[in-house]
Amino acid sequence: MTRLGDIASKIRSKNAGPFWLTVDIFCDGPEAFERISTGMGSAEVARAFQVEPSSLRRFDIGALNVIKFSLPRHPVQGAADDRDMHGAAFGEILKGLEIA
């Protein structure tokens, strides 16, 4: 199996307000986009982030070769146990995700 980090050209995460996180998966072209889009299930992404699948929002944007996920941010930004104030390190969680 191939890992997402081996196919995607860039995986970026950031805050989408204090309560939501956005993860963008950039692909070099339509082939990589199609492979990731069809080979990566939303349930696996939800499991990796330890959130309910129903709370995960997925956007496959073929014209840009980007797959975007939005999910609740736990802990919320600025909480006492928040170790990533900007949400920039959450994308690393997906790099090891296996793609069918």
Q: Is the model's pLDDT at 1 over the cut of 90?
A: no
24 SS3 class: strand
| pLDDT tens-digit series, residues 18-40 | 999 999 999 999 999 999 999 99
Res 100 pLDDT > 90: no
pLDDT digits (tens, 9 = 90+) for 47-91: 999 999 999 999 999 999 999 999 999 899 999 999 999 999 999
pTM here? Answer: 0.93
d(CA 74, CA 39): 26
Asked if CATH classification 3.30.980 holds for the domain at 2-99, the reply, yes or no, is: yes
